[in-house]
Amino acid sequence: MRNAGLQVSDRRAVKLQRMIAASALLCKRSKAILSDLWILRHIWDTEEQREIITNIVDAIILKDDQQNQHPRVNENNQPDAEEIYKEVKLLSSQWAQPEIEPAEKSLIKDRLMHLSNRCEWIGNLEQRKYIKEPIDELWKQIMVTA
């Protein structure tokens, strides 16, 4: 990880060791195996760091052919483009309602921000571009009424 340009303090390294050990214990093993590194995908500070770590971890885990792998090792955290699109369309229709309350508007903005961030993780560039259009359009509507 340090070779990839990520800063790993000694303190964080110890915490990581404990998390990896905990993963092994959850699988009723007394020793960690490569698949226990799955936890590293979720502990970094920025999306850029997560992407780097996910690529490193996935490459390592692919080499692991041992039995008794952690059940979350094959978890796919890639966003579902179709689900994001549907939710953005729902948010757009909610925003267009004339009787919308300020609290509901705030929730829509928060959810749209989350979906916009998730959209950046869509691997297919065409899908990402297609979904960004209604997101950007809704942001424009929000800014006009703000």
Q: Taking a C-beta distance cutoff of 8 angstroms, is the pair 88, 112 a contact?
A: yes
Please write the tens of the pLDDT for every residue from 91-116.
Answer: 999 999 989 999 999 999 999 998 99
Residue 71 to residue 81: CA distance in whole angstroms: 25
**Count of domains for the chain:** 2
39 & 103 share domain: no
Q: Which residue range forms the structural domain that includes residue 108?
A: 81-145
Q: What is the pLDDT of residue 113?
A: 92
Q: What is the pLDDT of residue 39?
A: 82
Please write the tens of the pLDDT for every residue from 39-90.
Answer: 887 777 776 777 778 778 878 777 766 665 665 665 555 678 899 999 999 9
56 & 89 share domain: no
Q: What is the pLDDT of residue 67?
A: 61
1 & 72 share domain: yes
Give the relative orientation of helices 102-119 and 81-96 as an angle to the nearest 10 degrees: 160
Cα dihedral sign for 103, 105, 106, 107? Answer: positive
> With 0-12 CB in 10 A as exposed, 13-18 as middle and 19+ as buried, what is 91?
buried
72 & 96 share domain: no
Q: For residues 22 and 63, which has the higher predicted lDDT (pLDDT)? A: 22
18 & 49 share domain: yes
70 & 128 share domain: no
Q: What is the pLDDT of residue 8?
A: 82
87 & 55 share domain: no
Q: What is the pLDDT of residue 4?
A: 75
Answer with the one of 76, 111, 132 that is the final residue of a domain.
76
Q: Taking a C-beta distance cutoff of 8 angstroms, is the pair 94, 48 a contact?
A: no
